[in-house]
Amino acid sequence: MIITKTPYRISFFGGGTDHPSWFRENHGKVLSTTFNKYCYISVRHLPPFFEHKYRVVYSKIESVNNIDEILHPSVRESLQYFKCTQGLEIHHDGDLPARSGIGSSSSFTVGLVNAMNALKGSIRSSEELAKTAIHIEQDMIKENVGSQDQVATAYGGFNEIDFNMDGTFSVNPIIISQDRKVNLNDHLMLFFTGISRFSSEVAKSQLENMKNCHSQMREMQAMVGEGLSILTNDNSSLDEFGFLLNDAWKMKSSLSKDITNSGIDDIYDIAIKNGAIGGKILGAGGGGFILFFAKPEYQNKIKKALSGLTFVPFKFDNSGSKVVLYQPNGF
């Protein structure tokens, strides 16, 4: 059996500019971090004693004989990519819900790609894991997704990620003191709205409007540099990071009617009224997790005001996708 552990990610600024329809013409840039909640994928060769050849366990259980019969798109296309002929059993477990804006779909794909390579006795770099996951999701599944989640979850850590017009990317770790990093972490609050959605569907409407929102997209991209300047300048108050999150959220929510709704707006307004400086819906929008920036002395008040939501404490994490168990079976 092979088990991989792949982190989820929080994207602060630049989301949307990581989509190839944008960065292949304009360049793209995001500021993001992984955190200590994970997607676990286990893979093993299935012994030849069952009526089925492939067994896939996630929120559903699939037992089939042909790869084409597998309903889970990432599993189906990944097995096609690796040209699997032997029987396999694949299990997914996640610390947080799927379709919630934390890059869970790409964490799944990256973790599965990592596990499949390990099953074949091969180790792949973070760059190779990210590129393969991008190919599977964008070219094989043909989902309307960007490229930041695959890169962030494969590499791990707090990074500025650049997406170049030729399709390449570069990952630049954010160099700040440990005290400032901990202080930033202590100002962030994560809540689950209880709404799950398919990011590709929300992204589709955003992409359709992108050509009409050129100036907003460029401004959102510029916020990556602004956020980075705040973090790396010890003389800048971290509150400025919160105000910038607020500005970015207002701009992002104007790109498509599907990014926010009255329920999300109410949550945001309640948090601001109770002391939050800024925040944003994570991922494409429409639901999932919502992040707030608030001074520690206001956080209990915010949690009480949003007691109907699930609060998720977290810490930044520096690890990307990794194999945590390597015991290949002999079937």
- Over residues 246-271, mean pLDDT: 89
Q: What is the pLDDT of residue 285?
A: 73
Helix, coil or strand: residue 249: helix
75-83 own/partner pairs: CB under 8 Å, 24+ apart: 75/112, 77/136, 77/140, 77/141, 78/109, 78/112, 78/113, 78/116, 78/136, 79/54, 79/116, 80/140, 81/132, 81/135, 81/136, 81/140, 82/116, 82/120
- Which stretch of 53-62, 124-133, 200-209 has the lowest confidence by average pLDDT? 200-209
49 has a pLDDT exceeding 70 = yes
Q: How confident is the model at residue 236 (pLDDT cuts 50, 70, 90)?
A: very high
What tens digit of pLDDT does each residue of 109-160 get?
A: 999 999 999 999 999 999 999 999 999 999 999 998 999 999 999 999 999 9
Domains in the chain with CATH codes:
2-174+317-326 (3.30.230.10), 178-315 (3.30.70.890)
Number of residues that make up the chain: 331
What tens digit of pLDDT does each residue of 263-307 get?
A: 999 999 999 999 999 999 998 777 899 999 999 999 999 999 999
121-128 own/partner pairs: CB under 8 Å, 24+ apart: 121/328, 126/154, 126/155, 126/156, 126/171, 126/320, 126/321, 127/154
Tell me the residue type at 40. Y
Helix axes 73-81, 104-119, angle to 10 degrees: 30
DSSP 260-282: --HHHHHHHHHHHHTT--EEEE-
CA 4 to chain centre: 16
Helix axes 104-119, 126-134, angle to 10 degrees: 120
238 has a pLDDT exceeding 70 = yes
Helix axes 148-155, 104-119, angle to 10 degrees: 50
The answer to whether 90 and 39 are in contact (CB under 8 A) is no
The answer to whether 252 and 280 are in contact (CB under 8 A) is yes
